[in-house]
Amino acid sequence: MRYRLVLSLLVFLLPAAARAEEPEQLLPAGAQVYLRWDGVEAHRPAYEKTAIGKMMKGDTGDFVAKTFAQIQEGLGSVLTVEQLLGGVPPEKLQKLQADANEAAKLLPLLGKNGFLIAIEVRGLEPPEGQITIILPDAGEKPTPLFGALTLVAGLNKVEVKEVKVGDRTVSTLPLGPVHLTWWAEGKHAVVTFGTDDAEKVVKTMTAGNGARLTANPLYKRMKGFNQFETSARAFVDVESLVKVASKRNKETAQLLDDLGLNGLKALVFYSGFDGDAERGLVEWDVPGPRKGLLSVFDGKPFTLADVPPLPPDVISWSMMNFDPGTFYDASYKAIEAVVGMIEPMALPEVKEFPKKVNEALGIDLRRDLIGSLGNQVMFYNSPSEGPLNFGQTMMVKVKDAKKLQESLEAAIKALGKLGATQVQIKKHTYKDVEVREVHVKQPGFIFVPTYAIHKDWLVVSLFPQSVHGYISRAKGEMAAWKPDPRIEKTFAALPKEVTSISYSDPRPGLNQLLSIAPLIGGAINSFSPETNFDVGSLPNAQEVTRHLFPNVSVTSDDGKTLRQETRASLALPLDVTGIDLYALFIAFSFARIGF
């Protein structure tokens, strides 16, 4: 009898213990958006094997550490401005300064513990939902997070209220129809922002009854993933979000159906490590039927051998299936639907707009120009064909070369007249291919946009040289890019038939950036001596890039799921390259100047 009693108690208590240990047990099963990042420390051995992990062990890591240290110092002294302005009463300065000191520790806390975010949208009219942020294992020392929240409230002169919910002390900020609430739940620090008040939020999340996120099929799918070690995972339950939005009214439901979003079920994302590479995988569940925007990227799969000849020094390129006609039709239909819902009186004008465009251009834009294009698009950037991003070239597959040539010429001349600008199209033959240069008589316009149609590709660039280069390579008269042994091995591990490929080498951009960074730092010190920027702290370009290699990403389609797989040394959002990369790193490099 005694053993049965002990067993019964264990069965009763184990779920409660699991709820205390696993933060996802605090979240509802109906959350449509979920993201968890484990932090750096949880995967330190795997991270240190990667190219970026090796890079951060040298001067680059020291530079980044100093930068973040100065950012922390700046956060810790944030009250200086408020004191000078006299915006904080003396009796509150001590509390705010303590909050500022704690807030400065938030970034290291995130790096150690990671975080998770969940979003649940329960209704649109009236709005009902909740955003939840949890810092796992930060409940015993949550002051960096909570200090940052109270600091923001104090600087904005908003009073934080403390309420008792059971045996918990909960901080809350009522902000009209929404509430910002935070408290420590066992081992975890919890922050919520939503339409429920503090008492309802806490009771709902801690009651222990009802389905939890751990029962969600998408969450279970992520937990079962084992293709590589992951440090971040996420899902978006698109089907659920579409259902909620469709309940708003018939017009919204029809718009979502026209866009084809009813055919998109879910998105699941994984990011992690595999040897010296960062790996990423995005899975789009699109079982069909695909229509609207979801059919834009349909098309016959291609292979690496189908990629047109690229410059040998190309630093980034991407090729994908993309149907401009489908995109135009779906986008315009969506614009009509949105205007019809928001401003019905303006709908006749919107419907009339394509006719006015056609009259202005002297062609039927959809039928003559867009309809002459195929369903593949390519972009590439080569330093030898233009510095920074000026070597960018675009290529589009062509269905009807004759009609496209006529439509482009008519549209360009018409645009020049509309802008009251003298525009001249100069034609010349280069290696038996007709090339057109667009000369714009406008002070300050330094470009000579150039295009040609060759081997069923429309090639467009800012200057003639890029178009000439493509023609020479296509005719086999100049060398073309070939993957090195490492990239060949990478491609061999990825699907052969794909709907998109992208390649980007971060090294040339970083080399150019770091070569000019000392000049910029010296100029800043010269014109603003008070900044005292340490030029010597900038790492050497070779030191930064010696472990890096090109990033590769491909998308495959089995008819039910789109899978985008990435292997990278320095992965940047949206595969940032060219001038965007320079701007990103310049901003980061000199961010600490302001502190």
For residue range 188-213, list pLDDT tens digits in order: 999 999 999 999 999 989 876 668 89
**Distance of CA 210 to CAs 27, 166, 195, 204, Å?**
10, 19, 20, 9
Element (H, E) at 280: strand 277-285
pLDDT of residue 227: 94
* Domain end residue (candidates: 210, 239, 264): 210
Task: Point out the domain boundary residue: 194, 210, 226.
Answer: 210
Tell me the range of 234-238, 332-336, 380-384 where mean pLDDT is highest.
Answer: 234-238
Per-residue pLDDT at 6: 31
Question: Are 175 and 318 members of one domain?
Answer: no
Q: Higher confidence at residue 1 or residue 456?
A: 456
Instruction: Express each pLDDT in 298-309 by its tens digit.
Output: 889 999 999 999
Mean pLDDT of all residues in 406-435: 92
Please state the rounded mean pLDDT for residues 56-83. 69
In a shared domain, residues 17 and 151: yes
Task: Tell whether 148 and 7 lie within a shared domain.
Answer: yes
DSSP string, 368-422: IIGGGEEEEEEEEE-GGG-TTTTTEEEEEEES-HHHHHHHHHHHHHHHHHHTT-E
Tokens of 413: 């001349």
How does pLDDT run across 313-334, given as a tens digit for each residue?
Answer: 999 999 999 999 999 998 888 8
Split at pLDDT 50, 70, 90, the class of 7 is very low
Same domain for 12 and 157, yes or no, is yes
pLDDT at residue 572, rounded to an integer: 59
Neighbours of 289 (CB within 10 A): 10
Sequence-distant (6+) residues with CB within 8 A of 294 are 259, 260, 261, 263, 264, 286
Which of 23-37, 236-250, 523-537 is predicted with the least confidence, judged by mean pLDDT?
523-537
Question: Considering the domain boundaries, does residue 189 fall inside one?
Answer: yes
Evaluate if residue 85 carries a pLDDT over 60: no
Q: Are 570 and 280 in contact (CB under 8 A)?
A: no
Task: State the DSSP H helix or E strand holding residue 181, giving kind and residue range, or none if neither.
Answer: strand 178-185
Tally of structural domains, the chain: 2
End-of-domain residue from the set 456, 480, 504: 480
Domain membership flag for residue 475: yes
Q: Residue 450 pLDDT > 60, yes or no?
A: yes
- Asked if residues 339 and 350 have their Cβ atoms less than 8 Å apart, the reply is yes
- Predicted confidence at residue 75, as pLDDT, reads 56
What pLDDT sits at residue 78? 52
Q: Do residues 199 and 317 share a domain?
A: no
Structure tokens at 365: 């834009």
% of the chain residues with pLDDT over 90: 57
**pLDDT computed for residue 575 by the predictor:** 41
The Cα–Cα gap between 123 and 101 comes to 39
**Do 182 and 315 belong to one domain?**
no
pLDDT of residue 90: 65
Helices and strands (H, E) in the chain, number of each type: 20, 20
Give residue 74's pLDDT.
Answer: 62
Query: Please, which residues have CB within 8 angstroms of residue 239's CB and are 6 or more apart in sequence?
Result: 264, 265, 266
Phi/psi zone of residue 37: left (φ > 0), alpha (ψ -120 to 50 degrees), beta? beta
Strand duo 561-568 + 551-557: pairing: antiparallel
When comparing pLDDT for 585 and 286, which is higher?
286
More confident residue, 105 or 352: 352
In a domain, 12, yes or no: yes
Q: Which residues of 417-431 are buried (b: 16+ CB within 10 A; e: fewer)?
A: eeeeeebeeeeeeee
Question: What is the end-to-end Cα distance of the chain in Å, rounded?
Answer: 68
pLDDT band at 471 (very low <50, low <70, confident <90, very high): very high
The reply to whether 14 and 137 lie within a common domain is: yes
- pLDDT score, position 416: 86
The rounded distance, in Å, linking the Cα atoms of 271 and 573 is 12
> Per the domain annotation, does 338 fall within a domain?
no
Q: Please report whether residue 300 resides in a domain.
A: no
Q: Which of 86-95, 97-106, 423-432 has the lowest mean pLDDT?
A: 86-95
Nearest CA-CA partner of 263 in 285, 246, 243: 285
- Counting residues of the chain whose pLDDT is more than 70, the rounded percentage is 88
SS (H, E, C) 432-468: CEEEEEEEEECCCCCCCCEEEEECCEEEEECCHHHHH
Question: At a CB cut-off of 8 Å and minimum separation 6, what does 515 contact?
Answer: 541
Q: Which of 479, 310, 496 is nearest to 393 (CA)?
A: 310
Average pLDDT over residues 223-248: 94
* Domain-embedded: residue 90: yes
576 token code pair: 């940032």
201 with 317, same domain?
Answer: no
Express each pLDDT in 334-376 by its tens digit.
Answer: 888 888 888 889 889 999 999 999 999 999 999 999 999 999 9
Single pTM value for the model: 0.85
Give the confidence band of 220 by pLDDT, cuts at 50, 70, 90. Answer: very high
Q: In the prediction, which pLDDT does 312 show? A: 96
Q: Are residues 18 and 161 in the same domain?
A: yes
Report residue 531's pLDDT band, with 50, 70 and 90 as the boundaries. confident
Say yes or no to pLDDT of 387 above 90. Answer: no
Question: Binning pLDDT at 50, 70 and 90, where does residue 555 land?
Answer: very high
Q: Is residue 394 part of a domain?
A: yes
**Do 18 and 136 reside in the same domain of the chain?**
yes
pLDDT over threshold 70, residue 273: yes
Residue 109 in any domain: the answer is yes
Burial of 519 per CB tally in 10 Å (0-12, 13-18, 19+): exposed
Phi and psi at residue 525, to the nearest 5°: -65, -35
> 63 pLDDT exceeds 90?
no
Quickly state the pLDDT bin for 89 (edges 50, 70, 90): low
Checking if the pLDDT of 588 tops 80, the result is no
Asked if 561 and 269 count as a contact pair (C-beta separation under 8 A), the reply is: no
Query: Which of 10-19, 167-176, 579-588 reaches the highest mean pLDDT?
Result: 167-176
Confidence check: pLDDT of 578 > 70: no
Range of the domain at 160: 2-30+77-210
Average model confidence (pLDDT) across the chain: 86
pLDDT for 468 beyond 50:
yes
Within 104-249, residue ranges assigned H as helices are: 106-113, 143-155, 198-206, 217-223, 238-246
